[in-house]
Chain A
Amino acid sequence: MNGVHNILNVERLSMRFGGLAAIDDLSLDVPVGKITAVIGPNGAGKTTLFNCLTGFYKPTVGSVRLNHPQRGTLLLETLPSHQVAHKAQVVRTFQNIRLFPKMTVLENLIVAQHNALQQASFFTLAGLFALPSYRRAEAAAMEKAVNWLTRLGLIEKADTAAGDLPYGTQRRIEIARALCVDPILLCLDEPAAGLNPRESAELNELLMRLARDEGISILLIEHDMSVVMKVSDHICVLNYGRKIAEGTPQEIQNDPNVIKAYLGEEDADEELHAEVAP
């Protein structure tokens, strides 16, 4: 509960749709600079949690407090969608990729830096006349985009329309684009879905580097246990909208509640271990 070490405090959050409680009285702390995974069976409320964090849904009850190093405590559930990224610097990706398919990869990354450009361009006026201040801002935006594209091994694809690229590449572009917003908290919704084992291993590497080298806190929804167990510092398990367990990967693997939720009542803990083993 210590605000200094947690970037995000989810407090007694509930999200109801009619009679259905997609999230039911959930409290969760996301430690700063670490990778936190949210796992759980289908329909456990994981994506709903993300939707509550990023202004998609207004939670029925509860609050989501972001401890911003410069801007103090921000209540995410009260911010409009665009302020979640702009002011709170919380960015998310989607389970089904949402790039701008008709734009080039580079343009996708430049759009994400729109606010900096807009300020430099005095709302497009200077942009129209290509004043030096705007050209500098544009060069900076370009540099940042190129930097991330290079680091994610995407630079050759910079001028290709994003929609024409293979699935695994699009996933990486989506992460690169999110990084261009300068996130302090990056929420990834199943980033490993549809990736082959090699791509998935690269993703593990990337996530660990982002947390370790850039100090970006990561909140991760993932079904692929080889990713979750490898990269997570902290795991939170949801089932039917409630938190049923929380702890380190080792603790979670041995938690009877988790095994029950995933595999049913029978003592099938060996199966979970089999799935989890690298």
Chain B
Amino acid sequence: MGTMEQLTLQLRETAREILESKKAAAVIGWEMGTFWYSTAPAILTRPEETERLVWNEYCLNNLAKYLLDFQNTDEKVAIFARGCDYRGINRLIQDKQIDRDKVLIIGLSCPGMKDDKKARELGQNADIPLAKKCEECTYPDALAYDLWVGEPKEAAKPAKAEAKVFPEVESLEQMTADDKYENFAANYEKCLRCYACRNVCPACSCRECIFGNSSKEWSAKANNLSENMFFALTRALHVAGRCIQCGECERICPVNIPIMLLNKKIIQDIDHLFGPYDAGLDPEDKMPLGSFEFTDPEEFM
């Protein structure tokens, strides 16, 4: 705890310095939320506001998506970034949503955040487990940055993806077709279609989404299982090869749909079909579905 409190002070100082010296017009970080187990993204523009910044065990939100709000401004934006934020930022840079030059990345090393829902349930004195998305995290630190806050780290080992296997995906794969479908249907029967998953996702940056545009008649606003599945599958395939595995969609779903089960299946298949790939490590990477090899597996002959 002690170190996170000290880091909070350093975060504030760094942010204040950036805003005072006008190195960036805004700083994106975290501030306290309403409850002891909650924080919220904070987008600050005035030096005195930087006192609100915090860095604690509940800084769960991925901040990258907020860069989109600065797409049409000329000034630079500073953003605190752990591994997941960093990959989110790269996602946006690679998707040509924002220029690298416009972003001032302040790197952080992340100890893993705690599960806010569990915290609410168990209370302040309990031992709160890590958030699911943090438990599975493979890149806790920003891999490249303009500034760094915290203990200087040893040079990050060059990021190299390894073929991933997700036990929960594998166990689903063992089921019969009808059981799989029943399971999938039960998950998406609940969907409210609030689109929180889409709106929080750094890979969902279309200016116009077919699910927000009923005049295009791809999707009706009607809430029924078929439309909900259409949304789920279309989105999963749309972020295929681009999902940075931050797990935000699943974390914030108001009705707890295990959304990552779809994304993880695709990630796992990409690794095994086209070679290991972790999205958002390097904006210069070739994207699995935006590229090909002549030697790709051939099943359609």
Are A and B associated in one complex?
no
Which residues in A have some Cβ–Cβ distance to B below 8 Å?
Answer: none
Which residues in B have some Cβ–Cβ distance to A below 8 Å?
Answer: none
